[in-house]
A = this chain, B = another copy of it.
Amino acid sequence: MSQQMSFKDLMKVLGLGAVAFVLGVEWLNWLTRHLRDSHGPLKEVLFFPSPQVCVEHLFTRRKRFPCACPLPHGVETSFSRLLGHLLSARMSLDLCVFSTSFSRLLGHLLSARMSLDLCVFSFSHMELSRAILLLHKQGVVVRVVTDRDYMTITGSQIGTVRKAGIRVRHEMSAAVHMHHKFALVDGRKLITGSLNWTLTAVQSNKENVMVTEELELVRPYQQEFQKLWEASDPANHKPQCTNGQLH
């Protein structure tokens, strides 16, 4: 009888053990999924125009805001977040007044530590140019592909960044526009949308910018950038000489 009881007890212990084990595994599984989901790939959408805020703290990384501009300070907006990301690259610019979406956009750009691949139709925005120059000075490898026609229009920043030593290439065909407006930060954060890098786009137009680290979305843009970078290599477009004539 004692043997019989011990046998029943063992059955109970084994049964309860199995149930506890299964529940434990399931709980760990749920926990892993929950943690993964709550820290999933970045997905953020910015719309322009947006309210104006002070973004000085993003550039100086000061916790307090000595900037005297009358706009709201320390507000989390589209622009301030962009600036925040950009400024994690330890920038120091004397900006103050920008829209919230622009501050977030700038934050994303300034978050670059290794590389910034930029593919933009028109580029005349002074502060975005300053951000790119600062990243370049900090050793971030910046590559720019732009449109041929819009390289030299009034206010274009392409000449400025090129003079600073940043590698710039342009669409080779005069009949085609390089109309993309996307950037890849450290090859893993995609910034894309309708926004050209101009003052009108940032301050006036109705625009959208999507920021994501979703690999399925980032990877095609990486491949497209590399394709465009190679296709716009001047070395591939040298005039060819046949029968003594240039073509």
Give A contacts to B, CB under 8 Å: 3, 7, 10-11, 14-15, 17-18, 21-22, 25-26, 29, 43, 45, 47, 121, 171, 175-182, 192-195, 200-201, 204-208, 210, 212, 214, 216-217, 220-221, 224, 228
Contact = CB atoms under 8 A, between A and B. Distances in A.
Nearest to A15: B14
A27 to B, nearest CB: 12
A221 B208 CA distance: 9
Given A25-B25, A47-B224, A176 B205 contact: yes
Contacts of A201: 179
Contact of A221 (B45, B177, B224): B45
Nearest to A196: B179
Contact of A176 (B10, B22, B43, B206): B206
A180 B208 contact: yes
A90 to B, nearest CB: 30
A205 B193 contact: no
B208 A228 contact: no
Most B C-beta atoms less than 10 A away, residue of A3, A47, A179, A180:
A179
A224 B217 CA distance: 22
Copies in the complex: 2
A181 B206 contact: no
B179 A207 contact: yes
Contact of A14 (B14, B175, B194, B220): B14
B206 A194 contact: no
Given A22-B25, A171-B206, A212-B217, 4 more contacts: A17-B18, A18-B22, A121-B194, A210-B210
A25 to B, nearest CB: 6
Contacts of A121: 194
Contacts of A179: 194-195, 201, 205-207
Contacts of A25: 22, 25-26
A214 B216 CA distance: 12
A17 B193 CA distance: 55
Contacts of A7: 3, 7, 10
Nearest to A177: B205
Contact of A193 (B43, B192, B212, B228): B192
